[in-house]
Chains A and B, each alone.
Chain A
Amino acid sequence: EAQVTQNPRYLITVTGKKLTVTCSQNMNHEYMSWYRQDPGLGLRQIYYSMNVEVTDKGDVPEGYKVSRKEKRNFPLILESPSPNQTSLYFCASSLARETYNEQFFGPGTRLTVL
């Protein structure tokens, strides 16, 4: 089944404790992206990747890192989480052509930083 998976689905952590949220897709998509969803703000893009070893900042990259060593994986790293990073995070992927390509979303990771 074609899908985007994220782990963990739920995470409660404390300020400053490094964490990684994994994202994996099995559709051989070049483009992957991370969003955060906050009440009243909708979804905002954090980082995106056009292909292996190619990443760039989205609209709200501060406090986050990403890497793209393999095509299928795009982990989101919080080196020193803070309470303002408490949010619902979504990973998404699509083909990377100039015509439209549907973006597939993962199920989300709910992160709480105490």
Chain B
Amino acid sequence: AQSVTQPDIHITVSEGASLELRCNYSYGATPYLFWYVQSPGQGLQLLLKYFSGDTLVQGIKGFEAEFKRSQSSFNLRKPSVHWSDAAEYFCAVDPILTGGGNKLTFGTGTQLKVEL
């Protein structure tokens, strides 16, 4: 069965520092890959997605992610973190089922704390 691993449960960074959140997936083929953000008390917002092509994808709020097939990874990065980035981040995969629809499998999430 497919799975998504986010090895870091909590991460604390200083405002202005760089950020990298790790995500590894286990699946036979390359699925669609996503990063979502959940701010306190809010729903999930899509940050960025990867389907194919350029392995470095840009998203909203200054985030980017790099797909590395050899490592089955899709790590999220931001060069300079802002206090408003404090939230929980979820990596997700979509196995691209035949017949359409989206069956997302989520990682367990990484809680980001930003120190001022």
Q: Which residues of A contact B (CB under 8 A)?
A: 30-31, 33, 35, 40-45, 48, 50, 58, 90, 92, 94-98, 100-103, 105-108
User: B49 to nearest A CB, angstroms?
Assistant: 7
Measured in the bound complex, the distance between the Cα atoms of B43 and A90 in whole Å is: 8
Contacts of B44 in A (CB 8 A): 43, 90, 105
Q: Are B49 and A100 closer than 8 Å at their CB atoms?
A: yes
Total A-B residue pairs with C-beta atoms closer than 8 Å?
67
Interface size class of B (residues with CB under 8 A): 20 to 34
Q: How far is the CA of A92 from the CA of B34 in the complex (A)?
A: 15
Contact status B99-A98, CB under 8 Å? yes
Cβ contacts A to B, 17 pairs, < 8 Å: A31-B100, A31-B101, A35-B106, A41-B108, A42-B107, A50-B100, A50-B101, A90-B43, A92-B102, A96-B101, A97-B100, A98-B98, A98-B100, A100-B96, A100-B102, A102-B46, A103-B104
B1-57 interface with A by 8 A CB criterion:
4, 6, 9, 32, 42-46, 49, 51
Docked pose: A31 CA to B92 CA in angstroms: 18
In the complex, whether B68 has a CB less than 8 A from a CB of chain A is no
| Other contacts beyond A42-B107, A98-B98, A103-B46: 15, CB < 8 A | A30-B101, A31-B100, A33-B103, A40-B9, A42-B4, A43-B92, A44-B106, A45-B104, A48-B101, A50-B99, A50-B101, A90-B43, A94-B102, A103-B104, A105-B45
In the bound complex, CA of A96 to CA of B99 (Å): 8
Q: A105: shortest Cβ distance to chain B, in Å?
A: 4
Where the two chains meet, the residues of B that have a C-beta atom closer than 8 Å to any C-beta of A are 4, 6, 9, 32, 42-46, 49, 51, 90, 92, 94, 96, 98-104, 106-109
Q: Is the CB of A107 within 8 A of B101?
A: no
Chain B residues in 8 Å Cβ range of A108: 42-43
The smallest beta-carbon distance between B86 and chain A, in angstroms, is 17
**Cβ contact within 8 Å between A48 and B49:** no
Q: Please, which residues of chain B bring their CB within 8 A of the CB of A97? A: 100
